[in-house]
Amino acid sequence: MNIIWQEFLKIVREEAGSRVVETWFKAVSLLKWDEHKKTVYLIAPNNYVQQWIKNHYLELIKKHLGRLLNENTITIVFTESLQPAIMSPASEQPETLIYKPAQSLMVKQPYSSNTHTTSLKTIKPRSLSINSIYLFDTFIVGPNNTLAFSAAHAVAEKPGKLYNPLFIYGASGLGKTHLLHAIGNHIQKSFKKINILYQSADRFVHEFINAIRFDKINHFEAKYKDLDLLLVDDIQFISNKEQTQEAFFHIFNMLHQAQKQIVFTSDTLPCDIAGLAERMKSRLEGGLIADIQIPQYETKIAILKQKAEKNNECLSDEVAHYIATYPFYNIRELEGALIRISAYASLTHQPITKDLAHKVLIKKQDDKKSIDLQKIMHHIARHFNYTQQELKSAKRNKDLVMARHIAMYFMKKLTHHSLKEISAFLDRSDHSTVIHAFDKIESCRQVDNNLCQTLTQIEKEIVT
């Protein structure tokens, strides 16, 4: 039976896609096949999964599982435990599945710095995944980000009372994540008893899938019901995920109605996020929307000066002005340039001068021209112990996907190749996959020190 079920999953993966298999069918197992009754018995972890599969994939199960069992007509019986729910041909009337959140817990009243009403159960104050290095004091404010900074600071001063939700959007590397963590750090310092969660949208999707698979929906929702502040990075990654959006919609409503602060970041406006339900767009647009643009010349200089001072380095006005003239389109690129210049000066025992900066930056441009896509693929395959064919394949196991995303990340970062050229090299038809991979790795490296070290090591291997 296991062999038959695994073969069925392969067929579903090809016909309906990996996401359907990972989200729904991996949660189901084939209990037995009754040849005399022509009945297949399947186990689902809960009624939620059972109803969704029944409403959306019943005919697919009958078609392909019946073929594997050499039967034209079969009956499907779903069970959570010992009580089967028979789905015979006569009872297959379509039903509308409505996402029903778990029984609500009593939520706390809006908090203040002086009082904090407790819920029915004692909640231990927590601040999950907040990076203490990102503060308002270390954020360089300029014309490109004044509104976003001011709004974030106002939210941190009076959470749940102003701009709820706050939606910050802009390209990768401009400081969106910095502001999220700065809000978290400020509120954590000002309000002692408070529950804070920083969560990437990708992580939310992953947790929701596991909650479905392992019958933990109640635990999943309880985690969010207890929050006072929810910080969601890269909310665009829940696009085209219908049930994840449904779950998030109810969590959003619960927190918002209790006047708990919610802050989002995205690479684009809510109205421009493809694959996002209209009511989700409406919720995201319900507060204040603030953008962050590419830093201007003066802001670049201020960023360089602050970075150098933090690292106890001497950076003259002449060098700072020279670096700022280069076409760096985000803060990360700008800071990366300074790091390379400082490292070269240290290794060669030279002061940081305009000539030295010119030499390093020109070399960087030349290095980009000398690094090709095949070279990056070779290093990624060797580092993660995959073949290049596997990296280009459609296989979706977790470790392979991460390696593939890292390959895309470095192809975009270290070469002059276009997104279209990179996606074609990897046998992908849509270059948006490369953008998604790059943004995801950039987001993860900011909060995952192990990943940051891994990326640094791989980059050294590629460029040397």
Confidence category of residue 128, pLDDT binned at 50, 70, 90: low
Whether pLDDT at 102 is above 60: no
pLDDT in tens, 17-66: 776 777 778 878 888 888 888 899 998 877 777 888 888 888 888 888 88
* Highest-pLDDT range among 62-66, 256-260, 385-389, 427-431: 256-260
* CA 274/CA 271 separation, integer angstroms: 8
DSSP state string for 114-164? S-----SS----EEET--TT--GGGSPP-TTTHHHHHHHHHHHHSTTTSSS
* CA 43/CA 32 separation, integer angstroms: 10
Confidence category of residue 367, pLDDT binned at 50, 70, 90: low
* CA 157/CA 82 separation, integer angstroms: 53
Do 255 and 228 meet the contact criterion of CB atoms below 8 Å apart?
no
What mean pLDDT, rounded, does the chain reach?
81
Confidence category of residue 139, pLDDT binned at 50, 70, 90: very high
Q: To which H or E segment does residue 30 belong?
A: strand 29-34
Do 346 and 308 meet the contact criterion of CB atoms below 8 Å apart?
no
Residue 355 vs residue 100, higher pLDDT:
355
Spacing of C-alpha 438 from chain mean position = 11
* CA 312/CA 364 separation, integer angstroms: 24
Residue 44 vs residue 406, higher pLDDT:
406
The beta strands (E) that lie in 39-125 are given as: 39-43, 75-79, 84-87
* CA 132/CA 150 separation, integer angstroms: 20
* pTM score: 0.59
- Strand pairing class (39-43; 29-34): antiparallel
Do 301 and 320 meet the contact criterion of CB atoms below 8 Å apart?
yes
Confidence category of residue 80, pLDDT binned at 50, 70, 90: low
pLDDT of amino acid 228: 92
